[in-house]
């Protein structure tokens, strides 16, 4: 019998386009099922006896808690591995960490600084690696975002979204997710903070046609979704003064919302009120930010059970 060696390799989820369009929709549909199961109080211990390692080089509230809770609800177990609690913090190479973890756990979710670091984890892992955020990408966030848009817009067809602010990790994965699902996207950033050209090119290869602009009003006019994130991401704290100047005019405020009377407002959280978004907008009736946060749980459970089945 011929063994197809590709079948012996684990599937990793380093960015949204590691899934095909069909696979992405399958994960979203499974997330809907898990959400219904939680609401109905139905048992869904699909990962009974399985363990997720959760490696963190950066802080987290939502990612950490939603993955750990998700594994509990699926009948499995999750182990928090803070960088400074394991030998990685004392200089053990990532490739050794990855190979050792592979011998114990069924999957690893990792939040690291450089995107290349998650690629090293994946290269040396014999179990699926899930990107829980890198400097360049946040694909688990995108799964929850698409689930949220689908719920609030009654589908993903004919939806137009506007990204306002930094062309950062969240924006880049969102651009790929919009491209895969047919969501029309306009990205408004100050000059010098654009989404990487290579990411825009990948989005186009997926069939998307993201528009880039430096005009937030242009971007949000008649949009269905307005999405923003912090101006200073983890690891960029030294750039605070420059960034505060450069992002002036990119705040999601009630004035900006006047140009999109029907739009829902999204934010991956944590939010910095008074910087990228005003308090009245994030607390307002058009804000769906806590639906997004909840959907992290359902989307990631779906991703894990799909990767591990």
Show binding-site residues for carbamoyl phosphate: 60-63, 87, 111, 138-141, 268-269, 296
Question: Is-catalytic flag, 229?
Answer: yes
Q: Is residue 97 within the footprint of ligand NVA (CB under 6 A)? A: no
Q: Which of 141, 172, 292, 300 is catalytic?
A: 141
Tokens of 54: 């959760």
**Least Å from the CB of residue 133 to ligand NVA:** 6
**Least Å from the CB of residue 289 to ligand CP:** 10
Residue 118 φ/ψ, nearest 5 degrees: -75, -30
DSSP 100-122: HHHTT-SEEEEE-SSHHHHHHHH
Question: Is-catalytic flag, 9?
Answer: no
**Least Å from the CB of residue 226 to ligand CP:** 17
Q: Are 144 and 292 in contact (CB under 8 A)?
A: yes
Q: Which of 46, 251, 268, 292 is catalytic?
A: 268
Determine the size of the site formed for ligand CP (CB under 6 A): 9
Long-range contacts of 199-204 (CB under 8 A, 24+ apart): 199/172, 199/175, 200/175, 202/17, 202/176, 203/175, 203/176, 203/178, 203/179, 204/179
Residue 79's H or E segment, with its range, is strand 77-82
DSSP assigned state of 50: -
**Least Å from the CB of residue 66 to ligand CP:** 8
Question: Is-catalytic flag, 178?
Answer: no
- Report the site for ligand NVA in 174-213 (rule: CB under 6 A): none
Question: Is-catalytic flag, 141?
Answer: yes
- Report the site for ligand NVA in 216-245 (rule: CB under 6 A): 229-230, 233-234
Residue 161's H or E segment, with its range, is strand 160-164
Question: Is-catalytic flag, 292?
Answer: no
Q: Pick one of ligand NVA, ligand CP, none as the site partner of residue 169 (Cβ within 5 to 8 A by kind).
A: ligand NVA
Instruction: Give catalytic residue positions.
Output: 111, 138, 141, 229, 268, 296
């Amino acid at each position: 019998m011929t063994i197809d060696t590709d079948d012996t390799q684990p599937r990793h989820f380093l960015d949204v386009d590691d899934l095909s369009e069909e696979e992405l929709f399958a994960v979203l549909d499974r997330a809907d099922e898990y959400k219904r199961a939680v609401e109905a109080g139905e048992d869904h211990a699909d990962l009974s006896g399985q363990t997720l390692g959760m490696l963190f080089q950066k802080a987290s509230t939502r990612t950490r808690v939603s993955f750990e809770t998700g594994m509990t609800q699926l009948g499995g177990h999750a182990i928090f591995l803070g960088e400074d609690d394991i030998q990685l913090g004392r200089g053990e190479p990532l490739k050794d960490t990855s190979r050792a973890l592979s011998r114990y756990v069924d999957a690893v979710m990792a939040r690291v600084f450089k995107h290349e670091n998650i690629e090293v984890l994946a290269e040396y892992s014999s179990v699926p690696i899930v990107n829980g955020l890198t400097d360049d990408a946040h694909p688990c966030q995108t799964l929850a975002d698409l689930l949220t848009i689908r719920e609030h817009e009654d589908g993903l067809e004919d939806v137009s979204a506007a990204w306002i602010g930094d062309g950062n990790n969240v924006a880049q994965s969102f651009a790929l997710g919009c491209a895969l699902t047919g969501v029309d996207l306009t990205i408004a950033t100050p000059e010098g903070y654009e989404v990487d050209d290579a990411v825009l090119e990948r989005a186009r290869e997926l069939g998307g046609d993201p528009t880039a602009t430096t005009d937030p009003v242009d971007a949000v006019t008649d949009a269905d979704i307005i999405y923003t994130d912090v101006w200073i991401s983890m690891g960029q704290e030294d750039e605070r003064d420059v960034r505060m100047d450069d992002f002036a005019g990119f705040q999601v405020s009630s004035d900006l919302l006047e140009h999109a009377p029907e739009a829902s407002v999204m934010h991956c959280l944590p939010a910095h009120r008074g910087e990228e978004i005003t308090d009245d907008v994030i607390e307002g009736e058009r804000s769906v930010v806590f639906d997004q946060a909840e959907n992290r749980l359902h989307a990631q459970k779906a991703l894990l059970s799909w990767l591990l089945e």
